[in-house]
């Protein structure tokens, strides 16, 4: 690796595509063109839709709804790409239609809405809240705070306060388990989702959240890094979609296998290593995941897997996303497969059609990360 310390300390971000011989001009064009396809392309490609004069939403094209996952992902893409208008539109839509002003979910966001803003569910999904908060902090630092709801840093702090302190008055539940500092699958649950664990975000929350919560976020970052070690299989590196706090797969809901949610673990490990280089285990983990998939040349052959690597009958629903996240792991990986999977990713186009949303969100995060453009602001 090029630095002894992560980009948080050095302010230097690896451009893996440049390391493999692509020119800066070629890389910049690829990133900009991909953003424009996803936000302003044709109806077989785009997932961003303006609504009226000041709102916009990201569509989960497979389910025809807007989710906190996608809205917060879109905001992260926009702040990284310096697209303030699109960012503000997404945030205003999220705050108007998804945010709970009162009740047991006060301060949280309803995880799924119809495209007219009516809610499909009232409950939140914690991965949305953590991405909302991080994107808002970055927006504050990049563009400055404006009038409510564009007082980005205040909004971010309020989200994180709810995530930590909800339930202390007897109403609702926190999004992190207070006893072990691990993020929950949903506030009411007693288990986690390994792909929700973003220690690189928590490190930054420990600097920017409300002062009384900063120690909590320090401990959450350390707890998440340790949790991933017990949730990921020691041989294959594969994680289940849901797992108990002791790392064992959560079996009662049928999400104990390596499937769609779990792809993001590789992505998160890559970015955590790039930003902080806090744990050399992430190198081993990235190498294991890449090694497991190294001999599968056709992404259409990807399947659902038990975490011990046993293939199941069901095919991967998001093969483009799976290859993308495995490529993003190259920010940590040191093995012989790291370059090859990045080459495969570079040669792979965006997904088109009904199932494009999740694949292409992961695709764009990977494109930004491997070009050195997924940055701490």
Count of the separate structural domains present in the chain: 1
pLDDT band of residue 114 (cuts 50, 70, 90) is: very high
Is residue 3 pLDDT above 70, yes or no?
no
Provide the β-strand partners of residue 60: 65
Is residue 287 pLDDT above 70, yes or no?
yes
- Marked catalytic residue, from 130, 203, 261, 274: 261
What CATH number corresponds to the domain at position 345? Answer: 1.50.10.10
In a domain, 6, yes or no: yes
Is residue 194 pLDDT above 70, yes or no?
yes
In a domain, 25, yes or no: yes
> Cα Rg for the chain, rounded, in angstroms?
19
Q: Can you tell me the distance from the alpha carbon of 279 to that of 206, in angstroms, rounded to the nearest whole number?
A: 18
pLDDT for res 262: 98
- Marked catalytic residue, from 69, 129, 284, 359: 69
| 3-state secondary structure string across the chain | CCCCCCHHHHCCCCCHHHHCCCCHHHHHHHHHHHHHHHHHCCCCCCCEEEECCCEEEECECCCCEEEHHHHHHHHHHHHHCCCHHHHHHHHHHHHHHHECCCCCCCCCECCEECCCCCECCCCCCHHHHHHHHHHHHHHHHHHCCCCCCCCHHHHHHHHHHHHHHCCCCCCCCCCEECCCCEECCCCCCCCECHHHCCHHHHHHHHHHCCHHHHHHHHHHHHHHHHHHHHHCCCCCCCCCCCECCCCCECCCCCCCCECHHHHHHHHHHHHHHHHHCCCCHHHHHHHHHHHHHCCCCCHHHCEEECCCCCEEEEECCCHHHHHHHHHHHHHCCCCCHHHHHHHHHHCCCCCCCCCHHHHHHHHHHHHHHHCCCCCCC
Which pTM does this prediction carry?
A: 0.97
Q: What is the pLDDT of residues 170-181, one digit of tens each?
A: 999 999 999 999
Q: Can you tell me the distance from the alpha carbon of 158 to that of 236, in angstroms, rounded to the nearest whole number?
A: 39
pLDDT for res 335: 86
Q: How many CA atoms lie within 13 A of 257 on its CB side?
A: 15
In a domain, 291, yes or no: yes
- CA-closest candidate to residue 294, choices 340, 359, 346, 362: 340
Q: How many CA atoms lie within 13 A of 135 on its CB side?
A: 30
In a domain, 322, yes or no: yes
> Structural domain of residue 377, as residue ranges?
1-46+229-377
pLDDT for res 41: 98
Q: What is the pLDDT of residues 300-346, one digit of tens each?
A: 999 999 999 999 999 999 999 999 999 999 999 998 899 999 999 99
Is residue 182 pLDDT above 90, yes or no?
yes
pLDDT for res 1: 35
Is residue 42 pLDDT above 50, yes or no?
yes
In a domain, 94, yes or no: no
Is residue 109 pLDDT above 80, yes or no?
yes
pLDDT for res 2: 40
| Residue 25 bears catalytic tag | no
In a domain, 371, yes or no: yes
How many residues are there in the chain? Answer: 377
Burial of 157 (0-12, 13-18, 19+ CB in 10 A): buried
pLDDT for res 297: 94
Is residue 129 pLDDT above 80, yes or no?
yes
In a domain, 150, yes or no: no
pLDDT for res 112: 98
| Residue 145 bears catalytic tag | no
Q: Mean pLDDT score of the chain, rounded to an integer? A: 97
In a domain, 218, yes or no: no
Mean pLDDT of 13-28: 98
Is residue 280 pLDDT above 60, yes or no?
yes
């Amino acid at each position: 690796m090029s630095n002894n310390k992560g980009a948080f300390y050095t302010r230097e971000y690896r451009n893996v595509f440049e390391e493999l011989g692509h020119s800066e001009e070629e890389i910049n064009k690829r990133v900009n063109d991909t953003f424009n396809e996803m936000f302003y392309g044709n109806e077989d490609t785009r997932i961003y839709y303006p609504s009226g004069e000041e709102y916009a939403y990201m569509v989960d094209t497979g389910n025809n709804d807007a989710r906190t996952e996608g809205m917060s992902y879109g905001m992260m893409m926009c702040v990284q790409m310096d697209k303030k208008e699109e960012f503000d539109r997404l945030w205003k839509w999220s705050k108007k239609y998804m945010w709970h002003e009162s009740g047991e979910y006060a301060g949280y966001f309803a995880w799924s809405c119809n495209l007219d803003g009516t809610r499909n569910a009232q409950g939140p999904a914690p991965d949305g809240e953590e991405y909302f908060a991080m994107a808002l902090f970055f927006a504050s630092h990049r563009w400055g705070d404006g009038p409510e709801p564009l007082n980005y840093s205040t909004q971010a702090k309020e989200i994180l306060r709810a995530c930590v302190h909800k339930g202390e008055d007897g109403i609702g539940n926190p999004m992190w388990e207070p006893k072990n500092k691990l993020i929950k699958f949903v506030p009411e649950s007693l288990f986690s989702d390994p792909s929700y664990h973003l220690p690189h975000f928590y490190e930054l929350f420990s600097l920017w959240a409300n002062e009384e919560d900063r120690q909590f976020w320090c401990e959450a970052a350390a707890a998440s890094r340790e949790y991933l070690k017990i949730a990921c299989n020691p041989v294959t590196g594969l994680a289940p979609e849901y797992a108990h706090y002791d790392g064992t797969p959560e079996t009662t809901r049928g999400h104990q296998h390596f499937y769609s949610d779990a792809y993001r673990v590789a992505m998160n490990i890559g970015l955590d290593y790039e930003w902080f280089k806090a744990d050399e285990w992430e190198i081993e983990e990235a190498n294991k995941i890449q090694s497991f998939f190294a001999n599968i040349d056709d992404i259409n052959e990807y399947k659902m897997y038990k975490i011990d690597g046993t293939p199941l009958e069901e095919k991967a629903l998001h093969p483009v996303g799976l290859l993308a996240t495995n490529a993003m792991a190259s920010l940590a990986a040191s093995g012989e497969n790291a370059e090859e999977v990045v080459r495969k990713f570079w040669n792979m186009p965006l997904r088109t059609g009904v199932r494009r949303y999740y694949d292409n969100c992961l695709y764009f995060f990977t494109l930004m990360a491997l070009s050195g453009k997924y940055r701490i602001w």
